[in-house]
Amino acid sequence: MQLYTLKSQVEISINKTISLKKTIGLVPTMGSLHHGHLSLIKKAVNSCDLVWVSIFVNPTQFNNKQDLNNYPKNIKKDLEMISKISKNINVFNPKISEMYESKLKTEDFDFQNLDKELEGKYRNNHFKGVGTIVSKLFNLFKPTKAFFGEKDYQQTRIIDRLIKVKNFQTELVICPTIRGTNGLALSSRNNLLSLENKEKSAIIYKTLIYCKKNLPKSSFQKIYNNCKKEINSLNDFELEYLEIVDNETLKKVKKISANKPFRIFICVLVNGVRLIDNILVK
């Protein structure tokens, strides 16, 4: 495994890879890796000639300074986990100044309002930050394929749009959500939870399953009220949103059609820690 911290180092390696006509797989992460990240890396290793993992906590996608400061970091452990998958994986772990140079500036994008739904309602300019850093990474690595998790499905829709807008020659590969034994979607933010709250967070996935099961026989408003009451009854838990949206546009579904897939999205604040999840309903 080779660790890089400078873009100039990466560019030399990437140009060599391209000259050899080898495929490049990119797994962008913010570190504090878990088995969900590792599943993406393994998929990339099985799909591409050369794999790069970026580890960079991107400040422009945080609208809350405390959230940024609290984001878990453990680069030593991250590198150990990556090296166990393959010794041939390259890792890019730059400083903020390397990615943003003189100042933290974001680009403007036409995301066709994908960035205004769900998380976009609560995290101002979050997806501008995501689009900006992913653009920088795609321009640097010129990946054949880029790997992202389905847990952050809204983000994958944003990146799919970004690829079209910027005309990146990159295939977006969306990999299934990896869950703990209690159904909680794996997330770096889970490290910020107490053991008790991590166990109680099983209610998030249970809520999605409950919604999916009961939608055909009950109104969503009634389902929503039941879910909100149960979640908010737990100490430290607060339901921020629970929505049924179109699988493509992410706009709220007013009338459910048996012929059109949709998704149920949820966000729960657990003692201030933001946990999101979603489930596809066909």
Residues annotated catalytic, as ranges = 37
Dihedral sign for Cα atoms in the order 227, 232, 236, 238: positive
Rounded alpha-carbon distances, angstroms, from residue 20 to 4, 24, 46, 139, 207: 20, 11, 19, 19, 49
User: CA quadruple 239, 118, 246, 130: dihedral positive or negative?
Assistant: negative
Q: Where does 86-168 have alpha helices with state H?
A: 96-100, 119-122, 126-141, 153-166
Q: What is the DSSP letter of 186?
A: P
C-alpha gyration radius of the chain: 19
162 Cβ contact list (under 8 Å, min separation 6): 109, 111, 131, 134, 135, 168
Between the alpha carbon of residue 179 and those of residues 63, 95, 172, 277, the distances in Å are: 27, 31, 22, 10
If DSSP codes are grouped into helix, strand and coil, which group holds residue 212?
Answer: helix
Rounded (10°) CA dihedral 145, 59, 239, 260: -30
Q: Are 150 and 143 in contact (CB under 8 A)?
A: no
Residue with tokens 């737990």, as numbered in its chain: 234
